[in-house]
């Protein structure tokens, strides 16, 4: 029954798994098993939900070789506006307003990036600073920061987890099995090629940022319902957590075909475990956990990049003169 | 040893892992000699000159330069021995201006207190261009976005600026258009008259015989022939290259224009400022419409503009069957048009992605199932079928493109469109940098497409290619259509060149 099948695993794809397993085992052992308790595992999942949802959305942007650093501030903006709308005009408005506002902010970012050809890094950093001001302004005059009582139903496990699963399945489908995902990766591989083949590059960039924005809208619903409302601190440094989860999972900054959805899941869990695990072994002060997170990120990025270089090299057929020419070219590029 | 020998190579060997890329290569090159180096893709030509240029160390064997042992440790070392190279794949840095690229790695002479004096650098670069009579290049402009041809000329200027006694040219003519090729030939003659030597690699057998004194033929890493250019014929060389007789007629053998009555695409008054002006033509079903012209004639721009990649300031591209105007590449893609760009590595292919992904990219819309589902099985099937049909040499379909040879890359570049039902195929220099075997194969694919009713726009710098394949030939000059010649009229190089210039 078993047919011999050549299994293709590149080193690059192994790194996120290895990192996840090593980190998980490390904390499982040093915490004497307390990390593995059923209660803690459910906490781990809860703590990862936001990062995973928004991470999967941001993956569309990262696959194109861009980055969205405005997801944190978008989360704050969306939460505040949705809370305001729900309190002012009707409880049920919370959901559509959150989704629409999040998507619109994303689409706006995508439009600026693609139409005016400004690097996404700069656009989203500008958003990160500028929009925080708007958020603070709105918070200064809205009467309450709490969401309507009836909307707390969203945090009930029987609503939350099925919704979470559904969102991930839909995003995974769109990213891995439709033209949208393939085009995003093609743009990350080589934007000129994508354009020359006939991929609508400008449109796809707007779509990617809009999807990212939509997941921020979804994320804001999870965040609002589990916290009961907004706060001054909402969304602070969230963009960093999302970016870390994606790169931790082994997606390259250049995007392209290295972008895979499962990597975001792994990366998100790894990051959550680090924070959670440090708590369990008594290193809860942020100065430790933050420095350790930073060091680990550097380490894993280094290994991922090395691995991707290595797998690229081993893929070369040595008997092709042209392949050799390219190596020669690399060599001279160094010399220059 | 006689004094007029410049470089003597004795039993040079080079291994790449288990591959024996160069086997006991021996030959000599005299002062003032122009030597041709020819062989199929993968025969070891580039490896050989890379060793001479100091890019690779040899594994065994010796080289004698003017009687002295010579084993360059780096290209800079080779430059110090007055040997320089223009490589096959592009070697300019896009984010630097043209002038800086000329003196790349040697900007020290223009540096004062850590600051490069661009003015004196550009002046020195301009002097090089003048001295060697190279075509004009804007030295202040970034090389990004410059045409391949211009970038090649910058590389040539760089190689010449080290005052080489031995110049190595790896497939440079294929990137040049007619007029600049002639300039290159003049340049080679000038070097010869100065008593300097040149090694030229080219896939164009006729050209090589024409410009060189002697030709060394390589096959599978070995020297299989060393002949005097005047005493040989193109067929002899081809036979030596592939080791068997190959038929000479890979172009069409008929001399009649033959195509359907239906116009597939009408181009009317198409104008792209500074590139092309008022270009109008119809391309019919089953027609191969050739485009030729000198370097600033705008033939390459026509291809891009027809596929909707450039924004025209006037005119339109009209698709007759659907009665619509093509304004964007995405619209062209949706309406069964195809474009094969000249710059394979930078514009056509996702070079770090797999063969699988590259084959599928243009066909994703057609492969969609319900709710946009792209079945991995279907994608794999298409990639496997095309890989087998085109016999792309690879370990499997998940191998990355950059590991393939030029010819195999081109098979993917062109072949991925043939997986679709294409109405208009736009080809820009489809045989650039591929060997005789793949070239013949690409022509057979074009002929097959013609038989299936596809309209083809064939843009090429190779006159023999457009003459060999086209039903009608549009000759362009300074961005305008200068003449349209039918296959049964005066269809010769001489008559076309007359219109071109």
CA atoms within 13 A on the CB side of B431: 26
Domain count, chain B: 3
Paired sense of beta strands B214-219 and B34-38, if any: parallel
pLDDT in tens, B242-295: 776 555 557 888 888 889 999 999 999 999 998 999 999 999 999 999 999 887
pLDDT band at A51 (very low <50, low <70, confident <90, very high): very high
Q: How far apart are CA B470 and CA B462, in angstroms?
A: 12
pLDDT exceeds cutoff 80 at B229: yes
Question: For residue B292, what are the CA distances in angstroms to A303, B173, B300, B472?
Answer: 50, 16, 9, 11
**A316 to chain B nearest CA, in Å?**
4
Option in A185, A315, A332 nearest B55 (CB): A332
The overall average pLDDT reported for chain A is 85
pLDDT in tens, B362-390: 999 999 998 899 999 999 999 999 999 99
Prediction pTM value = 0.78
Cβ contacts of residue B238 below 8 Å, gap of 6+?
A: B205, B246, B248, B436
pLDDT of residue A225: 93
The answer to whether residues B170 and B222 belong to one domain is yes
pLDDT exceeds cutoff 60 at A317: no
Q: Are B141 and B157 in contact (CB under 8 A)?
A: no
The answer to whether residues B172 and B206 belong to one domain is yes
Neighbours of A278 (CB within 10 A): 21
Chain B CB contacts of A323 below 8 Å: 402-405
Q: Provide the token pair at B355.
A: 């063969």
Residue B163, domain member (yes or no):
yes
SS3 assignment, position B9: strand
Q: Which residue of B has its CA nearest to A188?
A: B350
Report the DSSP beta bridge partners of residue B477.
Answer: B480
Residue B247, domain member (yes or no):
no
**A178 to chain B nearest CA, in Å?**
5
SS3 assignment, position B181: helix
Chain B CB contacts of A333 below 8 Å: 91
Cβ contacts of residue B390 below 8 Å, gap of 6+?
A: B411, B412, B415, B441
Burial B194-221 (b: 16+ CB within 10 A, else e): eebbbbbbbbbbebbbebbbbbbbbbeb
The answer to whether residues B416 and B428 belong to one domain is no
Reference B90, options A187, A312, A315, A333; nearest CA is: A333
Mean per-residue pLDDT for B452-461? 94
pLDDT of residue A316: 40
| Mutation target vs A (from B403, B404, B432, B433; most A CBs, 10 A cutoff) | B403
Residue B303, domain member (yes or no):
yes
pLDDT of residue B246: 55
Cβ of B374 within 8 Å of Cβ of A179? The answer is yes
The answer to whether residues B99 and B114 belong to one domain is yes
* Fold of domain A11-143+156-309: ABC transporter involved in vitamin B12 uptake, BtuC (1.10.3470)
More confident residue, A69 or A306: A69
pLDDT in tens, A56-66: 999 999 999 99
Reference B196, options B33, B37, B8; nearest CA is: B33
Residue B83, domain member (yes or no):
yes
H or E segment to which residue B36 belongs: strand B34-38
Cβ of B55 within 8 Å of Cβ of A328? The answer is yes
Cβ of A196 within 8 Å of Cβ of B364? The answer is no
pLDDT exceeds cutoff 60 at B97: yes
- Domain of residue B9: give its range: 5-242
- ipTM value > 0.90: no
pLDDT band at A311 (very low <50, low <70, confident <90, very high): low
The answer to whether residues B168 and B113 belong to one domain is yes
Option in B330, B374, B405 nearest A177 (CB): B374
pLDDT exceeds cutoff 70 at B236: yes
CA atoms within 13 A on the CB side of A53: 26
Q: How far apart are CA A281 and CA A289, in angstroms?
A: 11
Reference A64, options A183, A182, A188; nearest CA is: A188
pLDDT exceeds cutoff 90 at B438: no
The answer to whether residues B179 and B97 belong to one domain is yes
Residue B152, domain member (yes or no):
yes
SS3 assignment, position B315: strand
The answer to whether residues B437 and B411 belong to one domain is no
pLDDT in tens, B126-172: 988 888 888 888 888 888 778 888 888 888 998 998 889 999 998 88
The answer to whether residues B119 and B268 belong to one domain is no
The overall average pLDDT reported for chain B is 88
**How many contacts (CB atoms, under 8 Å) link A and B?**
174
Reference B111, options B123, B121, B97, B101; nearest CA is: B121
Min mean pLDDT across A19-28, A280-289, B54-63, B383-392 is at A280-289
Residue B94 backbone dihedrals phi, psi, to 5 degrees: -65, -30
pLDDT in tens, B118-128: 888 888 889 88
Chain B CB contacts of A189 below 8 Å: 350-353, 357
């Amino acid at each position: 029954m078993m047919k011999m099948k050549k299994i293709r695993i590149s080193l690059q794809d192994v790194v996120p798994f290895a990192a996840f397993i090593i980190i998980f085992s490390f904390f499982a052992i040093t915490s004497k098993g307390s990390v593995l308790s059923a209660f803690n595992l459910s906490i781990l999942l809860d703590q990862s939900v936001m990062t995973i949802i928004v991470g999967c959305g941001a993956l569309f942007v990262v696959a194109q070789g861009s980055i969205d650093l405005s997801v944190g501030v978008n989360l704050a903006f969306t939460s505040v506006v949705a809370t305001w709308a729900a309190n002012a005009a009707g409880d049920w408005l919370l959901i559509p307003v959150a989704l629409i506002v999040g998507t619109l902010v994303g689409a706006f970012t995508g439009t600026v990036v693609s139409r005016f050809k400004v690097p996404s890094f700069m656009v989203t950093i500008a958003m990160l600073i500028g929009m925080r001001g708007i958020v603070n302004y709105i918070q200064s005059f809205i009467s309450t920061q709490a969401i309507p009582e009836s909307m707390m139903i969203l945090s009930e496990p029987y609503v939350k987890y099925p919704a979470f699963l559904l969102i991930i399945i839909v995003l995974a489908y769109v990213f891995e099995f439709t033209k949208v995902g393939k085009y995003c990766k093609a743009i990350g591989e080589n934007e000129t090629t994508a354009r020359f083949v006939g991929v609508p590059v400008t449109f796809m960039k707007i779509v990617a940022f809009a999807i990212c924005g939509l997941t921020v809208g979804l994320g804001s619903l999870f965040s609002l319902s589990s916290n009961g409302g907004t706060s001054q601190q909402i969304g602070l440094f969230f963009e960093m957590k999302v970016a870390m989860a994606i790169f931790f999972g082994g997606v390259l900054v250049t995007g392209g075909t290295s972008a895979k959805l499962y990597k975001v899941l792994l990366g998100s869990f790894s990051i959550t475990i680090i924070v959670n695990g440090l708590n369990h072994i008594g290193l809860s002060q942020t100065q430790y956990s933050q420095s350790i997170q930073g060091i680990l990120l550097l380490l894993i990025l280094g290994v991922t990049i090395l691995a991707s270089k290595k797998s690229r090299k081993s893929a070369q057929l040595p008997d092709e003169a042209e392949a050799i020419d390219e190596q020669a070219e690399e060599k001279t590029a160094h010399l220059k | 040893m006689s004094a007029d020998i410049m470089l003597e190579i004795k039993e040079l060997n080079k291994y790449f892992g288990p591959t024996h890329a160069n086997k006991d290569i021996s030959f000599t090159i005299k002062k003032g000699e122009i030597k041709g180096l020819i062989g199929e893709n993968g025969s070891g030509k580039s490896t050989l000159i890379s060793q001479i240029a100091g890019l690779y160390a040899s594994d065994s064997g010796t080289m004698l330069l003017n009687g002295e042992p010579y084993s360059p440790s780096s290209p800079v070392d080779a430059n110090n021995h007055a040997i320089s190279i223009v490589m096959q794949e592009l070697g300019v840095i896009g984010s630097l201006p043209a002038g800086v690229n000329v003196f790349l790695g040697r900007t020290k002479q223009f540096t004062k207190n850590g600051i490069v004096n661009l003015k004196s650098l550009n002046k020195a670069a301009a002097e090089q261009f003048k001295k060697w009579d190279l075509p004009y290049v804007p030295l202040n402009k970034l090389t990004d976005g410059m045409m391949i041809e211009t970038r090649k000329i910058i590389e040539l200027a760089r190689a010449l600026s080290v005052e080489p006694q031995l110049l190595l040219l790896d497939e440079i003519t294929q990137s040049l258009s007619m007029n600049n090729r002639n300039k290159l030939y003049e340049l080679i003659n000038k070097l010869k008259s100065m008593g300097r030597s040149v090694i030229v690699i080219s896939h164009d057998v006729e050209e090589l015989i024409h410009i060189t004194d002697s030709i060394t033929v390589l096959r599978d890493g070995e020297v299989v022939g060393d002949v005097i250019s005047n005493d040989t014929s193109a067929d002899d060389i081809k036979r030596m290259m592939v080791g068997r007789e190959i038929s000479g007629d890979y172009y069409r053998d008929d001399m009649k224009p033959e195509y359907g009555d239906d116009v597939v695409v009408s181009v009317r008054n198409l104008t792209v400022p500074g590139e092309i002006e008022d270009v109008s033509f119809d391309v019919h079903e089953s027609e191969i419409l050739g485009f030729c012209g000198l370097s600033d004639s705008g033939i390459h721009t026509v291809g891009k503009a027809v596929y909707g990649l450039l924004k025209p300031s006037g005119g339109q591209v009209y698709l007759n069957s659907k009665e619509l105007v093509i304004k964007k590449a995405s619209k062209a893609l949706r309406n069964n048009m195809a474009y094969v760009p000249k710059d394979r590595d930078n514009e056509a292919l996702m070079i770090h992605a797999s063969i699988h992904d590259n084959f599928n990219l243009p066909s994703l819309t057609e492969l969609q199932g319900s709710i946009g589902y792209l079945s991995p099985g279907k994608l794999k099937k298409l990639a496997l079928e095309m890989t087998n049909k085109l016999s792309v040499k690879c370990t499997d379909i998940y191998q990355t493109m950059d590991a393939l040879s030029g010819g195999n890359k081109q098979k993917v570049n062109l072949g991925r469109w043939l997986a679709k039902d294409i109405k208009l195929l736009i080809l820009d220099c489809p045989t650039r940098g591929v060997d005789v075997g793949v070239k013949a194969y690409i022509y057979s694919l074009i002929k097959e497409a013609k038989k299936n009713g596809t309209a083809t726009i064939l843009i090429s710098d190779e006159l023999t290619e457009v003459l060999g394949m086209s039903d009608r030939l549009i000759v362009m000059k300074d961005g305008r259509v200068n003449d349209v010649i039918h296959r049964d009229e005066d269809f010769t190089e001489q008559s076309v060149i007359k219109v071109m210039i």
